[in-house]
Amino acid sequence: MAVVTAKGREIIAGRMRGSSPSQAEPLNLAWGNNPAGLTAAASDVGLFKEASESRVAGTSSIVTTTTPSDTYQVTGTLTSGSSQSIAEVALSDTASKPTADSVQAGSAVIGSNSATTLVVANGASFATNQYIQIRTEVLKIVGISTNTLTVTRAQNGSTAISTIASGDTVTGGNIPGVSNVTNGNLFFHCEHGAQNLNSGDQVAYTLTTKFS
């Protein structure tokens, strides 16, 4: 499954208006491990688990799929810095990564689709009214006490899940109309078959978004 995210649709509309409002081109490739084999959805605001490698600025072009110039395309190559399994790829309008943390033991949200208390390793990395993603669910932070976050579940059209586990990645991101997470605009997200890589292995991606 490959999707233009809800935030991505806002990015498309913003680019149609030119420089006001300003909208950077979403050509930065990022990849991730997707350790739970999750499916990308338009509600996503972050990768399921972004890998440690730096993002890479791809090369964009407008190509023809069905009618002339109906497709936005980005090509780029990512190089693995370790032995790992890569199973997702994304496009963002920033080269830097958003804040990421992990679910800690003692979080009430573990195994619950209704609990609203989340413990992270470093609560100072987040702020109230920010949006975060854990697995396939987007949550809104409504309060912070040291490393304990109080959250509102099932945001941005996502579904509250009961599969949150200790160690799951917590990633900051932006929903449409919100840009308070630095480097948090996810345009395109795709999960794919796992690629088991060694250090130095490369994957060349061609990512296309057709407008119709």
pLDDT tens digit at each of 212 positions of the chain: 999 999 999 999 888 887 667 889 999 999 999 999 999 999 999 999 999 999 999 999 999 999 999 999 999 999 999 999 999 999 999 999 999 999 999 999 999 999 999 999 999 999 999 999 999 999 999 999 999 999 999 999 999 999 999 999 999 999 999 999 999 999 999 999 999 999 999 999 999 999 88
pLDDT at residue number 20: 67
Eight-class DSSP state of 50: B
pLDDT at residue number 212: 84
pLDDT at residue number 17: 80
pLDDT at residue number 22: 81
Instruction: Give the CA-trace dihedral at 126, 5, 30, 168, to 10 degrees.
Output: 50
Eight-class DSSP state of 125: G
- The amino acid sitting at 52 is S
Q: Which of 198, 130, 185 minimizes the C-alpha distance to 12? A: 185
Query: How far apart are the C-alpha atoms of 8 and 119, rounded to whole Å?
Result: 29
pLDDT at residue number 19: 66
pLDDT at residue number 18: 73
48: left (phi over 0), alpha (psi -120 to 50) or beta: alpha
Instruction: Give the CA-trace dihedral at 86, 87, 93, 97, to 10 degrees.
Output: -50
3-class secondary structure, 103: strand
